[in-house]
Each structure stands twice: as structure tokens, then as C-alpha cells.
Chains A and B, each alone.
Chain A
Amino acid sequence: MSGCELLLEDVSVCYGRVPALQGISLRVGPGELIALLGANGAGKTTTLRAISGLLRPRSGRIRFGGGDLARLSPAAIVRLGIAHCPEGRQLFPEMTVLENLEMGAFTRDDPEIAADIERVYALFPRLRERRHQRAGNLSGGEQQMLAIGRALMSRPKLLLFDEPTMGLAPYLVDEVTEAIGQLHRQGISVLLVEQNVHVAFAVAERGYVLENGRIVLEGPIETLREDERVKRAYVGG
């Protein structure tokens, strides 16, 4: 799992003329689990969309395993080993659970896809029971599990999670948190965006805090936990 360090250097992204990210730099080392924190509208989703190629940075470099991602298509970035589990799950609602997982393996044509689907079912047994149901008919928790499973199907070296516990009941928050920790322990690097700081504090090693498109703070998760700015970003969090 070496050579898969993610490095953002001075990355700026604009929507039209409105800047959303203003020169952010961050690093996710091989096998690390990094939290990206910040209030609503701080630019967390924009950061992840720039990494996975859905948005083009205005300036700066995004490096992964040595190469620059800024000119690559999302498809090429998936092939390099980055999977993005997006905000709001973004499943294929008219496809079955199984078809969604197969779509996750779209960039692959090796014979181990079936075995990897079994691995996803082992991680989330509920998906196996629902495998022939339409994704649009699943509960919120099941949809989130499917979104994670689909991201895993590309065999990523780095996983980007955008608020994976949003809107879930507490016991499901625990289940999803546990799954993310387990994937990390298997050696996958993780960049985790979370509004639920308890989740981020429970699993992350280091963290960055975004405010209005700038990184205002970074450090070991224990030091972030005590910081006033973090408490401010998550009033009541």
C-alpha cells in the first residue's frame, strides 16, 4: 500500500466566479485515516469532488501516487485507486443492490468481482438479504451501506467518505463507523468528512479544519478535540 499518498498543494476551486476553496493543502499518508472537519458550506464536499475529478481546480496540484490528478477524468482517477462515497449516497435507484455493486466494479474485468461482492455482503449482511431489491426502496441505513459497498468494489487504495452517517439512527451510526474503522485496519487510506464529530474523533488519527474554503487548523485528533474553533464549528456537536 505504499506509493498511494494523497497530496493537495495550494488547491483553489471556484463555482463560476465564486471561490469555494482558496489554496488548501492537505496530506493523507498511506494507511492513514484523516478527518476533514468544518461547518456547513466550509468546502468539504468541494474538496472531495475536486479529488475525484468531478470538479476541476482553478489552480494548485492534486497528487496521488506521484501523478497529478488535475487533468484526469473521474474514470481515470477511479482506476488509479481512489473511490468516492458521495454525500447523499447517490445510488442508482432503479437498479438492484446487486447491480449497484456490479456498477461499482465497472472499471474491472477480473474474475474476482463475485468474491468481492461476497466480501461486501460479509461486511453488511443486510445487503445480501436485499440483493434483488431496487436500491431506491432501501432504508437510509441500507442505502449508506450500499454506497460504501459500491465504493469498495473498485478495490480502492484511498476511500473518500462524505458524511456517511448523515441522517442515520444512532445504532446505524455505530455500525457504519465500525465498518469504516475495519476498512482502515485492512490497510485502506481514508479521508473522512463528518459533521458528527464523535464519529470523526472515534476513528481518525489526524484532522484538518476548513473554514470558508481555507484550512485554519490541522493536527492530531486529540488536539483538535480541545480546540475552540472546532467547538465553534460544531455548536452542539
Chain B
Amino acid sequence: MLVIVSQTSYICQEPGWAKEPSGVQWTVEIMDLDILVQAVLLGLFNSSVYALVALGLTLIFGVMDIADFAQGALYMLGAYVAFYASQLLGLPYFLSLGLAGLGMAAIGVLNYLLVYRPLHRVGGATTFIAALGILLILENAAIFRFGADFRLLPSPFGHAKLALGGAVLTYHQVFTIGMTGLLLGAVWLFLQRTKMGKALRAMSQNRDAAALVGVEMHKVALLTFTLAAALAGIAGALVSPTRAFNPTIGGIIILKSFAIVIFGGMGSIKGALVGALIIGLTETLVAAFTAAQYSDLVAFGLMIAILLVRPQGLFGGGGRTA
């Protein structure tokens, strides 16, 4: 709130405003609202990225009980695929988005077939350790291959900005939010309307029961890994023109996304989306009204507080939402 007070006094110094008390009042509200709208819009952008990664994580967790931290590496590699596809091959950005999705889907499938499927039978913490291993291996391979420098892909929209009231987003951020909306909608339709989508939800809610009605576990698991990996790859590619990236970004995004999944209720889709929204918004609101250094503190503090009250997470416990 300190920020707002100082903004107000700044505006009051301008001639013509300070004379009329009601005018001052009005100005204060506008400033307040602008900062709020700006923070909410940026928060929506942050949430979009979290939502795409967290959705894949929670789907995999629901179906396989695997905390697949390797999804972070797929996010990071998605950014590099988009970068090299448009910079080296000269492909249009929108094509490189698709390429990032496809390429990461392929790696997701390989991860499942070569690592998770054989280890799943062993059980215990083996799959989790393997997931961490894949994350670190891919991260190091990327450092070896691409270097540790930060890169930024030029956006197909250039630097154009969209003014929404007093708030401003780049076209690329708006595009990212829109694409996320489309992807989430498509996944939702797939889960609700198609036979395989229903099988995925069924397996996530009760694995034995799904087997007993004739759902083929391996098919559903393969599908889930494909879908999640594609989402992570596209997310990385979507963000690559907005946030500078290097091979270590995967670890950061996956920690937060995993926290969001726990927060929302492991395996719950609704939980992952609501969690992504809450954390994304909390971060930017805290940064706007106090200081950016506090945003992680408050976001994680909020998660811990809610988990103390609801250990099963926001939407966990009463079975998985899916």
C-alpha cells in the first residue's frame, strides 16, 4: 500500500488535481486499479505457464503415481527447439511451437517406454529418482550442447504491446494466455468426450476398477505421457520469446509446478489449474504491492498454510477430480 500512497502524492503534485478533494479521491482509485489490473494480467500470464506444466504433472501423477520431474527438462528443451527451429531452420514461430510439442511428446514416450514402464513394477521411490536423473541428464546435456548463456527468441509479434485500460501486456503475453486457454479447453474436451479421455480419468480415479472394466493400462499411460510432454514442450516454446532461458529453467519451473500440484491435490486437474491461478496471481500481486523478493515467500507461505489446514490439497481427498 506504501507504493500507492507515493503514487498518489505524485499525482497530487500535478496542477489542477489537488484543488478538488473529490478529484484526488478519484485519482487514487484509478492508480490503485491500474496497478491491480497490471498485476492480475501479468499473473494470468504466469499462471498460464504454470497451468500447462502442472496439468501434465498432475495427469501423470493421477494415472501412474509418478512425480515426473523430467517434465521440467521437456519444458526447457521445448524452448530450445523453438529457438533453433526458428533461428537456424527459419521456420515460422507457430510451426516451431508445434515442433516443440511433437519433439517433446517423442521424448516423453521414450521416457515412459525405456524408464518408467520397467521401473513402475519395482515401485517405491525408484521412478522418482529416475525422474530426477532424467531432469539432470537432460539439463547437463543441454548445457554441454547449447551452453549456459541466456537466450531470448524474437517474438513473431515484435515488441508490440496491448494497452488494456491503464495496464500493458505484450502481444506475445496475450497470445500465450490465449493459446493456454485453447490448449486447456482442448484437453478438457478430450477428457470429457472421448473414450480414451474417459479411460484416463477412470484410471486416475481407481486403477484396479479401470483394469476390471477393460481399460488397457499401458495404452492410457503412454497417452498420458505423450500429452503431458507435449504440453510441457509447448509451454517452454510459448515462453521463450518472453523470458530469457538457459538450460537450468527446467528445475525452477518443475519445483513450482510440483508445489502447485501438491497444493491443488495430487492427481486433481481442477486443483492444478486453480493452484496455478492462485500461485501465478499471488506472485505478481505481491510483487506489485510489496516487493518482488517477497513473491516466492508469500506464494509458498500461502501453500504451506493451506496444506496445514487441508493436507490432501485443495481438491484432493474426495477422490481425484480428473
* A contact residues vs B (CB 8 Å cutoff): 52-54, 73-75, 78-79, 83-84, 86, 90-95, 99, 102-104, 106-107, 136, 150, 153-154
Report the minimal beta-carbon distance from B15 to chain A, rounded to whole angstroms. 62
Main secondary structure of the interface of A (DSSP, over half): loop
Tell whether B46 is near chain A: CB-to-CB under 8 Å. no
Question: A94 near B320 (CB under 8 angstroms)?
Answer: yes
Instruction: Give the docked Cα–Cα distance between A132 and B206 (Å).
Output: 19
Contacts of A150 in B (CB 8 A): 213
Contacts of B214 in A (CB 8 A): 74-75, 78-79, 106-107, 154
Contacts of B320 in A (CB 8 A): 94
Q: Which of A73, A75, A86, A102 contacts B209 (CB 8 A)?
A: A86
Binds A, one of B73-81, B146-154, B194-202: B194-202
Question: B213 near A104 (CB under 8 angstroms)?
Answer: yes
Q: How many A-B contacts at CB < 8 Å in the complex?
A: 74
Question: B211 near A74 (CB under 8 angstroms)?
Answer: yes
Contacts of A136 in B (CB 8 A): 318-319
Instruction: Give the docked Cα–Cα distance between A99 and B199 (Å).
Output: 11
Tell whether B322 is near chain A: CB-to-CB under 8 Å. yes
Question: A90 near B209 (CB under 8 angstroms)?
Answer: yes
Report the minimal beta-carbon distance from A193 to chain B, rounded to whole angstroms. 15
Question: A73 near B216 (CB under 8 angstroms)?
Answer: yes
Among B198, B199, B205, chain A packs the most CB atoms within 10 A around the CB of B205
**Additional A-B contacts beyond A94-B321, A102-B198 (20; CB < 8 A):** A52-B212, A54-B211, A74-B214, A78-B213, A86-B209, A86-B212, A91-B209, A92-B202, A92-B205, A92-B206, A92-B210, A93-B205, A93-B206, A93-B318, A95-B198, A103-B198, A103-B210, A106-B195, A106-B213, A136-B319
* B contact residues vs A (CB 8 Å cutoff): 195, 198-199, 201-202, 205-206, 208-217, 318-322
Question: B318 near A103 (CB under 8 angstroms)?
Answer: no
Contacts of A84 in B (CB 8 A): 212
Report the minimal beta-carbon distance from B133 to chain A, rounded to whole angstroms. 27
Contacts of A75 in B (CB 8 A): 211, 214-216
Report the minimal beta-carbon distance from B212 to chain A, rounded to whole angstroms. 5
Report the minimal beta-carbon distance from A138 to chain B, rounded to whole angstroms. 12
| A106-B205 contact in complex given A93-B319, A94-B321, A136-B319, C-beta closer than 8 Å | no
Report the minimal beta-carbon distance from B318 to chain A, rounded to whole angstroms. 6
Question: A154 near B213 (CB under 8 angstroms)?
Answer: yes
